[in-house]
Amino acid sequence: MFGHDPVLLVQRSGERFATRRPGITSRHAFSFGAHYDPTNVGFGVLLAHNEEHLLNGRGFDDHPHRDTEIITWVLSGSLLHQDSTGHAGIVHPGLAQRLSAGRGVVHAERNDAYRLEPDRPRVPVRFVQSWVRPDTPGSEPCYAQREVSRSDLAGDWVPVASGAEPEAAISLDSATSTLWVSVLSAGECRLLPEAAYGHVFVAAGEVEIEGVGSLAGGDSLRVIGPAALQVTGVRTAELLVWSMGG
């Protein structure tokens, strides 16, 4: 299926589509909403990969989803989540969250967690949300969340959400897909997870990737074809990597 040499495609932070509304900035890796590029419609089973910035009191009110695995990873601040499956809670850094929309679900996400916890700081929230095409359309909607240790993230790649890794923090209805997260300190080296398709996102800091060069916060790399590429921290970096089957 693949040749000997993988295809490596870099997308710089400023090359992403951007949607701006009062108090909200969304940056999209792929075509999304009013932004359309026929050459950039998803990647592998990834339907969307959005970096969201919400000022205090801002967010997304009730809106529907269907047949989508929605994985949320908060980088800073906190996010109040509510959905029609009856779940409501605060998503914060280190808490992996999955909402499986199945045959239909409505949810809301807002930066007003102080409504549940009045002492919570009123600061901006920044999070990454990935939408994945499920293996089983029309299923029953469901919700899951689980804490992930910061020390584990600093030690190796941690499978945060996966249909392939039994030790993943939360499961995913995509049998060949895994979201890996890791934190690399300056000078630390690690091999990227290998897969038919890989999407590497630098959430913070800076890294050097073999055969690619420097990637800084907001930059991403798409890898087509298995490749055991070495990544080295330049400045302490948080990486989100999707590995996906063909």
For the segment 115-131, what is each residue's pLDDT rounded down to a tens digit?
A: 888 888 899 999 999 99
Q: How many domains does the chain have?
A: 1
Residue 135 belongs to some domain of the structure: yes
The predicted pLDDT at position 128 comes to 98
Q: Bridge partners of 9?
A: 222
The DSSP code sequence of 31-92 is -BTTB--TT-S-BTTEEEEEEEEE-TT-EEEEEEE-S-EEEEEEEES-EEEEETTS-EEEE-
The type of residue at 9 is L
Residue 2 belongs to some domain of the structure: no
Provide the whole-model pTM: 0.95
Residue 153 belongs to some domain of the structure: yes
Residue 1 belongs to some domain of the structure: no
Those residues whose C-beta lies under 8 Å from the C-beta of residue 108, and which sit 6 or more positions away, are 59, 60, 61, 62, 63, 81, 82, 83
Q: What is the CATH number of the domain that holds 119?
A: 2.60.120.10
In contact, 234 and 23? CB cutoff 8 Å: no
Residue 206 belongs to some domain of the structure: yes
The type of residue at 197 is Y
d(CA 224, CA 243): 10
In contact, 240 and 193? CB cutoff 8 Å: no
Task: Reduce the DSSP state of residue 204 to 3 states and report it.
Answer: strand
Return the H-helix or E-strand segment holding 203: strand 197-209
- pLDDT tens digits in sequence order for the chain, 246 residues long: 455 689 999 999 999 999 999 999 999 999 999 999 999 999 999 999 999 999 999 999 999 999 999 999 999 999 999 999 888 889 999 999 999 999 999 999 999 988 888 888 899 999 999 999 999 999 999 999 999 999 999 999 999 999 999 999 999 999 999 999 999 999 999 999 999 999 999 999 999 999 999 999 999 999 999 998 999 999 999 999 999 997
- Structure tokens given for 166: 């039994």
The predicted pLDDT at position 115 comes to 84
Q: Which domain holds residue 181?
A: 7-244
Mean pLDDT of the chain: 95
